[in-house]
Amino acid sequence: MNDFENYLNLITKINLPLLVFLFVIIFYIIGAIFIIYHLARFGIGKAPKNLIIFFLIGAVILLIINFAFFSSIDWTDLIKKVSDFSTEF
Amino acid sequence: MLTFPWQKSYEKVELILRRHWLVLFFIYLGFGTLFLIGPLFFYIIKISMNLTDPLILNFSLFLLFLYLLIIWQLLFLTLTDYYLDTWIITDHRILDIQQIGLFKRDVSELRLSKVQDVNVKVKGLFPTFFNYGDVIIQTAGTVPEFKFKQIPNPYKVKDKILHLFDEFTKKHINDVEVHEM
């Protein structure tokens, strides 16, 4: 149990949730750039160009929502609750 | 007026084709279902486990929107593949542009004089009712066959290709490209 608590403390110290979230976001942004690049460069006609706008609007909105929820979470408290929950079992 | 990036100055675009809108409909249907599953699953968990703790609720909502973010990107990856698969018919040539994944693109070109035979295949309930199918062009070129997959009005496309072939051979005797002389 001490090992598990130490592990959870380590997660809090190095802010692992932030690192994981940033990794996911960076990966997402790279994918979004690839999609926009391909549609802009190789798309023929108006439909691919309209798709870029639609994709960007949705991507920005969802990213903002995700950042808002991520920053509203007290990760230390959450990890503590997970630790308490696992202790009960 | 229809145009495409590497169009020659003397050629006129007759048709730019993509797969039938029904293919797009099924893409949207599939991803729409995935979009709905997330919130539904969240709602079921919230009610069944009686989630009232704001921290746990916020974390669950964060996971939900992260899921929606990933589904959004997967949807547009699929749509990119749909929209970048294109067949272009001009009064001089036929182009088959296939996007395979993100980093592979096949472009095949056929001069109209190389068209030997044009076949249409409409097979199945949906293709019959919604009038879409495959147009297969037998060629005398390096690529033996051009296949237009799931395109709308395949019979009209076949007639158009044959008409363009006739017009091309009348204007280009011995297959000489007069515009490039």
**Helix-helix angle A2-13:A75-88, to 10 degrees:** 170
Question: Is the Cβ pair B99, A42 closer than 8 Å?
Answer: yes
Which residues does residue B98 pair with via DSSP β-bridges, in sequence order? B106
Interface of A with B in 2-61 (CB under 8 A): 24, 28, 31-32, 34-35, 38-39, 42-45, 47-48, 51, 55, 58-59
Q: Does A72 touch chain B (CB under 8 A)?
A: yes
Question: Side-chain half-sphere of B7: how many Cα atoms within 13 Å?
Answer: 18
Chain B residues close to A59, C-beta within 8 Å: 69, 72-73
pLDDT at B173 over 80: no
pLDDT on residue A8:
65
The ipTM value here is 0.81
Q: From CA B120, how far away is CA B147, in angstroms rounded?
A: 10
> How many angstroms separate the CA of residue A64 from the nearest CA in chain B?
10
A28 → closest Cβ in B69, B79, B83: B69
Question: Is the Cβ pair B73, A81 closer than 8 Å?
Answer: no
Q: Which residue of A has its CA nearest to B57?
A: A73
Question: Is the Cβ pair A59, B105 closer than 8 Å?
Answer: no
pLDDT at B35 over 60: yes
Whether the model pTM is above 0.90: no
Closest CA to A67 of B65, B52, B28: B65
pLDDT at B58 over 70: yes
Q: Which DSSP helix (H) or strand (E) runs through B22?
A: helix B21-48
pLDDT on residue A30:
94
Low-confidence ranges of chain A (pLDDT < 50): none
pLDDT tens digit string along B113-154? 889 999 999 999 999 999 999 999 998 877 788 999 999 999
pLDDT on residue B49:
81
Burial A35-71 (b: 16+ CB within 10 A, else e): bbebbeebbbeeebeebbeebeebbeebbebbeebbe
With 0-12 CB in 10 A as exposed, 13-18 as middle and 19+ as buried, what is B36?
A: exposed
pLDDT tens digit string along B60-118? 999 999 999 999 999 999 999 999 999 999 999 999 999 988 889 999 999 898 899 99
Chain B residues close to A46, C-beta within 8 Å: none
How does residue B7 score in pLDDT terms, banded at 50, 70 and 90? confident
Q: From CA B78, how far away is CA B67, in angstroms rounded?
A: 17
Chain B residues close to A69, C-beta within 8 Å: 58, 61-62, 65
Q: From CA B148, how far away is CA B160, in angstroms rounded?
A: 14
B65 → closest Cβ in A38, A44, A62: A62
Q: From CA B90, how far away is CA B129, in angstroms rounded?
A: 28
Chain B residues close to A63, C-beta within 8 Å: 69
Question: Is the Cβ pair A44, B80 closer than 8 Å?
Answer: no
Q: Does A63 touch chain B (CB under 8 A)?
A: yes
Q: From CA B61, how far away is CA A69, in angstroms rounded?
A: 7
